[in-house]
Homo-oligomer: A and B are copies of this chain.
């Protein structure tokens, strides 16, 4: 969120307004998409003055990041018994979130903006990307406990491998969904997982 240090005195900021604004932002993203979304319209939908919106967020970019970030909270890594099943499960979850119209149009737009805005990039990293990356680390740790993956000797190499896996998995799903515009269905996920696990097995030999 926007990390406003709450002062001890004075009228407190309405928490209900916060949620109403974020909800209105998601609704506006569904109806209008990124480019036609205006802050005035969001304020009207939320039943809030436009000035209130500007008091809490610096601009459209930051607002949309916060509005979309909560959708990634539902990402979990339930234990499905094997590394392959775990991967397939989390990839399907990620694809489902990315298939929503509000994330589809918003995510790549804010990433594009972040190429010229370092603070925005940091905000995206902490509130969205790191939540995804955590799943990769958890999945590997679980696979090591199962004995499906060897415990890495060099932790530095292990970190690089985790980053590689993350970029490959997240990138592939995003590219399939947004660029190729084809569905990430169970069949595709199965083939992708087979490719990924095969590559991991070959690399650790």
**A residues apposed to B, CB below 8 Å:** 33-35, 101, 104-109, 111-116, 121, 124, 129, 160-161, 163-164, 166-168, 170-176, 178-182, 188, 191-192, 194-203
Docked complex Cα distance between A109 and B61 (Å): 13
Write the nearest CB–CB distance from A57 to chain B, whole angstroms. 16
Please determine whether B160 and A171 come into contact, CB atoms closer than 8 angstroms.
no
Contacts of A200 in B (CB 8 A): 195, 198
Smallest CB gap from A170: residue in B: B175
Pair A195/B180 contact, Cβ less than 8 Å = no
A10 to B34, CA, bound (A): 40
Interfacial chain B residues near A121, Cβ < 8 Å: 181
Determine if A195 and B112 form an interchain contact, defined as CB atoms under 8 angstroms apart. no
Contact residues in B for A166 (Cβ distance below 8 Å):
180
Contact (A168, B195) CB under 8 Å given A105-B115, A129-B179, A180-B163: yes
Q: List 25 A-B contacts (CB under 8 A).
A: A34-B113, A35-B113, A104-B115, A105-B113, A106-B112, A107-B112, A108-B108, A108-B111, A108-B112, A108-B115, A109-B112, A109-B113, A111-B178, A111-B179, A114-B178, A166-B180, A167-B172, A167-B180, A168-B192, A171-B176, A174-B175, A191-B203, A194-B203, A195-B199, A199-B199
Given A161-B191, A164-B195, list of 18 further CB < 8 A pairs? A33-B116, A105-B116, A107-B112, A108-B109, A109-B113, A112-B178, A115-B178, A163-B182, A164-B172, A167-B175, A168-B172, A170-B171, A171-B173, A171-B176, A194-B199, A195-B200, A198-B200, A198-B201
Report yes or no: B167 in contact with A176, Cβ–Cβ below 8 A. yes
A32: nearest residue on chain B (CB-CB)?
Answer: B116
A-B CB proximity, top 6 nearest: A198-B202, A171-B175, A171-B171, A199-B199, A195-B199, A108-B112
